[in-house]
Structure 1
């Protein structure tokens, strides 16, 4: 995968010339903390009963607001070497951290120098040293220095996290919020960051595993805080509007977006083949097609032709009763993607966000959700993220029974799936699964662009197939008069499933459909279809503009109602390794025209799901109220019996 056309190379010689300066920073420097407070142990009393002397507080005007902290010697190399106790030898992990920090510092200094040359900061620095800085350029000079500091800090933290990520283990460390973020200039910014890193290593890194985890956690916190500062900072356009790549490390710098090492996750799940997913025809068909769609992603352009042409499913929701095959569907799709990626040599990353990611620590659940989303969104991998039992994980807003952690997760997912900053590249998809979708927040549920009804086996043939499948081969019972798995032939089954949506299924929607059809006749024009949509909205106010977008997206998916040939997956040179324009042209040739029947079926399919959720939600609420009333009545009766007795 070669470098993208919009990237500039950060040359190796420009990086290595900063190695001496980076090494000097690691060896030692003095820094007086301005904002941060050291994590030293409390001072020990000199003798019993006599406390330490109170700190002198000056009454001189002006001095009271000046920092009284003493300059501290920061010697990171010595601190890292002491992380494992008394071992006199440097361990491989310690050496990796030292080399990673030196490399990250050099990259940050090189990019800051490049930025300074682009915006004229280098000339302003020289003029300032000579005392010849024009007064009318002092504001510009200060803004450029602040921008340089933010860029230096973020690139340093970004490179550190990227370079050390292969050395991370299972240990995690919470270093807390970074405080010593200084934006006077790049050099002082690094001094502040390295001082705080020194404090964190001293406090948290008791062994090699915790050392790497501490440095990476610190880098993540720095990136997060600097990115927030950068939102309101001036003169950052030359940095945010360009991209750089360090070829030796395959490290990409794109503004204040964290880079991620293109590593796939090791999957240990049991994969299922398509014929082992019995029933669930539409869900299975869409999962199969989505798996192949993802493989069309172009790693050079960082874009998928399906995302540009329409028909790409970024988020979907699978709902159904317990035991209908949601987990099997996940296993099938993950297995397909893993096989395709292994064959093409692409990194594949599967992640599941489960209930164990909800944390009682305030803010941690949101951080976990954000890390999950960012890991799957990584443009350098093919990603598949699942959120199983989302009704238990993401809380409904306004629901007093939802914990703060669940509310945080809901907010993160809503922003990630359809927020102002959401970018759909087409390299990943998110699947939300639930037995009780009516308990999912309405706005979050509507962010699912596609709906997979996972209803399990339905026909006689389905039940014969699933019985034969689960019985295995260690028996002598004859099959009988049945063509095994013929009913699972996808295209035929899907055609039947789609045709069944020519009319609605849910009772509430059937009434709306029949009334509209009686008033205006067959739904065969845009105006009539719009009238039907308005009638649905009058029956269910939650049927908003986002619902219309989801329906039109589903229609576009139907227009792409073709399956990329298996040969294209098996022999990557036929399609996967083609350039972006060629792939887009090959897909365009397979596109089918949009018909009225497609639109009606997708309206009914989506509206059916919303009515189904609403009916279930209302029924659950009514049942709960009835149960509460019965309890109250029983308690009252028992109380009166006891009082009279």
Structure 2
């Protein structure tokens, strides 16, 4: 991938000149901890006549291993070599960690050097060294040193995690928080970090299989801690306002945003074809459109024309009774995107956040949720994230029955889906699925920009189709008088489904609709539609400005009421490999005008779902109250009988 105009190339010679300093730090240095406490690990025993190094140590390819460290210092190379017991040879995993850390240190030092030159810190360093730094510049000097330290630490953690990601296994290591984050200057900051990493390897790496997971876990924790510190630090503009490209590693450094290796996930799920999804016409149609929308993403611009033109679905909620086809819908959409990406050669990453990600360890559930979000958001992949049974995973705020882990997950999802820092690039989408959406926190549910009612087969034809599909071919039972799958012809079925929303489907909303229509007549102007929206809000106070935004987004999706042609997916040269501007023009040419009917239908669809959730929620609350009253009445009766 070539360097684009908004990137600065971090030249290889500027990185490699820091290799010697990087190896020096890995080989040995002294550090007295200021913040963190040691892990209680005894230092390696050293006797005057017996060496503690291995009988033979192979030279790691490309890594200088001359020792200049004092014996009492931090020796990371030795620590890494000791991860597999007494094997005298350096293993591939150990070599990968050593080379990855040396490379990460060198890149971090090179970025620090760039930051110093761009911010004026380099000149201040020279003045300070000569004793010529003016008094009125000393405060700025200290602030810039701290900013450089934060930048260097984050780049180190970022690069380590990125370079070692391909070597990660299913093994996980919990290391706790990183504490020794020092900001006096870049070198001291790196010494403190490497000292703590040495402590963590000693405490948590009991076998070689835990080495890479431990180092990666440390890198992730370091990035999170440094990014948090950076929120209150100043003079970071020269770092956050620039992007560096390391071509040899295919790495882009973008401020405090973690880089992710552009690696797709290997899917083992059973994919479903669209004709195997019976009923659910609108949900199926929108999922098929969204699958193709994702493929319009431009990896050079890191933006999707649909996100710029309007109509891209970043978050959606699929709700319906158990057994109506939510899992089948997920399998269909994941299969479509997976196949499209295979043709185009794009990395595809699918990830599901399930109930097993809720952890009793304080803060761990939130960390799991953040990792899930970051993996799917990765701008170097096409991503699809699902949260199945979200009513069990994300707790309602204020609900005392929700665990602390569920509350953490709710907070993370709310910030990620519609927070101050949410950026919709159009490379990924998140689907929330639930049998009981009324149990989902109202604010989180409203962050679902689109609603997919997954109601399963509805008509006689649907039930014949699903029976024939599931029966398979190992029988001789005649089909009878029926055109198989004719009812599943998507265009006609969707048109019928949308037309059905010309009037509300929920009784409570229908009352509002009829009342407003009786007052203003046919809803054919913005003013009349606004009157209808206000009447809905008066009937349900939860119908807020966010609901209006979701409705207008859905209308824009309807303006994109077309599927990208199948041949565009089959032959990438026709569309996928075109320039960003060309793709945008091709999409814009397919747009259809927005009509009053579209707006009314989308208002009724969205508001109908909210009324449906409210009715279910109220009914559940009433049933629980009735059960409580019956229990109390029975308890009182038994109590009085006992008294008698």
Quickly name the TM-score band, shorter chain normalised: over 0.9
Aligned to 1:177: 177
Q: What's the CA shift string for 1:305-362, capped at 9, x where partnerless?
A: 0000000000000000000000000000000000000000000000000000000000
2:307 aligned with 1:307, yes or no? yes
Aligned to 1:164: 164
Aligned to 1:9: 9
Which whole-Å CA distance do the structure 2 matches of 1:335 and 1:125 have between them? Answer: 56
Is the 8 Å Cα contact of residues 352 and 388 (structure 2) preserved in structure 1? Answer: yes
Which whole-Å CA distance do the structure 1 matches of 2:512 and 2:346 have between them? Answer: 48
Following superposition, the deviation at residue 516 of structure 1 comes to: 0.3
Which whole-Å CA distance do the structure 2 matches of 1:400 and 1:234 have between them? Answer: 40
Is the 8 Å Cα contact of residues 324 and 454 (structure 1) preserved in structure 2? Answer: yes
Q: Which is worse superposed, 234-243 or 426-435?
A: 234-243
Aligned to 2:151: 151
What's the Cα RMSD here?
Answer: 1.2
Following superposition, the deviation at residue 41 of structure 1 comes to: 4.5
Following superposition, the deviation at residue 417 of structure 1 comes to: 0.2
Is the 8 Å Cα contact of residues 560 and 591 (structure 2) preserved in structure 1? Answer: yes
Q: How does 1:92-107 map to 2 (within 5 A)?
A: 92-107=92-107
Aligned to 1:613: 613
Which whole-Å CA distance do the structure 1 matches of 2:616 and 2:75 have between them? Answer: 63
Is the 8 Å Cα contact of residues 41 and 199 (structure 2) preserved in structure 1? Answer: no
Aligned to 2:469: 469
Count of aligned positions = 618
Aligned to 2:76: 76
Following superposition, the deviation at residue 5 of structure 1 comes to: 2.5
Aligned to 1:66: none
Q: What's the CA shift string for 1:79-105, capped at 9, x where partnerless?
A: 111112122211111110000000000
Which whole-Å CA distance do the structure 1 matches of 2:216 and 2:197 have between them? Answer: 10
Aligned to 1:39: 39
Aligned to 2:194: 194
Aligned to 1:27: 27
Q: How does 1:303-382 map to 2 (within 5 A)?
A: 303-382=303-382
Q: What's the CA shift string for 1:222-274, capped at 9, x where partnerless?
A: 10111111112111111111111101110110000000000000100000000
Q: Which is worse superposed, 232-241 or 635-644?
A: 635-644
Is the 8 Å Cα contact of residues 508 and 611 (structure 1) preserved in structure 2? Answer: yes
Aligned to 1:246: 246
Is the 8 Å Cα contact of residues 311 and 556 (structure 1) preserved in structure 2? Answer: yes
Is the 8 Å Cα contact of residues 31 and 72 (structure 1) preserved in structure 2? Answer: no
Is the 8 Å Cα contact of residues 32 and 72 (structure 1) preserved in structure 2? Answer: no
2:590 aligned with 1:590, yes or no? yes
Which whole-Å CA distance do the structure 1 matches of 2:18 and 2:582 have between them? Answer: 42
Is the 8 Å Cα contact of residues 41 and 203 (structure 2) preserved in structure 1? Answer: no
Aligned to 1:126: 126
Aligned to 2:61: none
Which whole-Å CA distance do the structure 1 matches of 2:306 and 2:317 have between them? Answer: 20
Aligned to 2:599: 599
Is the 8 Å Cα contact of residues 501 and 605 (structure 2) preserved in structure 1? Answer: yes
2:228 aligned with 1:228, yes or no? yes
Aligned to 2:527: 527
Q: How does 1:249-260 map to 2 (within 5 A)?
A: 249-260=249-260
2:270 aligned with 1:265, yes or no? no
Following superposition, the deviation at residue 461 of structure 1 comes to: 0.6
Is the 8 Å Cα contact of residues 175 and 218 (structure 1) preserved in structure 2? Answer: yes
Following superposition, the deviation at residue 71 of structure 1 comes to: 11
Question: Which secondary structure state, in structure 2, belongs to the residue aligned with residue 73 of structure 1?
Answer: coil
Question: Which secondary structure state, in structure 2, belongs to the residue aligned with residue 30 of structure 1?
Answer: coil
Question: Which secondary structure state, in structure 2, belongs to the residue aligned with residue 593 of structure 1?
Answer: coil
Is the 8 Å Cα contact of residues 41 and 202 (structure 2) preserved in structure 1? Answer: no
Question: Which secondary structure state, in structure 2, belongs to the residue aligned with residue 74 of structure 1?
Answer: coil
Q: TM-score normalised to the size of structure 2? A: 0.95
Following superposition, the deviation at residue 642 of structure 1 comes to: 3.4
Following superposition, the deviation at residue 635 of structure 1 comes to: 2.0
Aligned to 1:86: 86
